[in-house]
A and B are shown apart, each in its own frame.
Chain A
């Protein structure tokens, strides 16, 4: 079972996907300087009504294996320790310990 932080992150990811198109449309209106200020302001207010788990910045890439939030090697989506463990076990193709 993934830990609570990972579950929260998964929730945010689904929220982002569900609301992405609507948010983009409002962003387009709000950031468009060719439109009248009143309409832009209204669009900005609408943007503010979206919840916490609809913003893409809420999403954080956590460790796929352990759920850790820090020290993630993004190419593998693993924290540094899980990366080391898996690499030493030979589970990551093409990764081997440097020696010279």
Chain B
């Protein structure tokens, strides 16, 4: 027949066990939040999910010292300027509520 062991003795044993094997002594099983520190960082792998995408404006912006020119963009801006000169530009933005009411179509 097994001898009766008081709980305090069992607790002391557990404590000693923890100190010997260098585990944390947590008799009430409290949440310590250790899992948030233990988990690997997910950011770096998240960032590399999509393949790298390059286009002309980003490359121009990346190397301003090379002074490259995006010809398509220049042409577009020139077209906009020309259209404005002929009075075919985009209409002015409404500044007040009354303006926006005047500009909307009546049905």
Residues A16 and B32 in contact, CB atoms below 8 Å apart: no
- The number of chain A residues touching the other chain, given as a range, is 20 to 34
Residues A31 and B42 in contact, CB atoms below 8 Å apart: no
> Does A10 lie at the interface of the complex (its beta carbon under 8 Å from any beta carbon of B)?
yes
Residues from chain A with a CB closer than 8 A to the CB of B32 are 32-34
Indicate with 1 or 0, residue by residue over A45-65, a CB within 8 angstroms of chain B CB atoms. 000000000001001010010
Residues B49 and A64 in contact, CB atoms below 8 Å apart: yes
- The number of chain B residues touching the other chain, given as a range, is 10 to 19
Say which residue of B31, B39, B53 sits within 8 Å of A32 (CB atoms). Answer: B31
Say which residue of B31, B34, B42 sits within 8 Å of A16 (CB atoms). Answer: B42
Kindly report which residue of chain B lies nearest to residue A10, judged by CB atoms.
Answer: B50
- Do most interface residues of chain B lie in helix, strand or loop, or is the interface mixed? loop
A47 nearest CB across to chain B (Å): 11
Residues from chain A with a CB closer than 8 A to the CB of B31 are 31-33
> Does B37 lie at the interface of the complex (its beta carbon under 8 Å from any beta carbon of A)?
yes
> Does B44 lie at the interface of the complex (its beta carbon under 8 Å from any beta carbon of A)?
yes
A20-B42, A64-B50 given. 16 additional CB < 8 A pairs?
Answer: A13-B43, A16-B46, A20-B41, A20-B43, A24-B36, A27-B33, A27-B36, A28-B34, A28-B36, A29-B33, A31-B36, A32-B33, A33-B30, A56-B46, A61-B49, A77-B49
Ordered by A's residue number, 6 sampled pairs between the chains whose C-beta atoms are within 8 Å are A13-B49, A17-B47, A28-B33, A31-B33, A32-B33, A33-B31
Chain B interface residues toward A at CB < 8 A: 30-34, 36-37, 39, 41-44, 46-47, 49-51, 53, 55
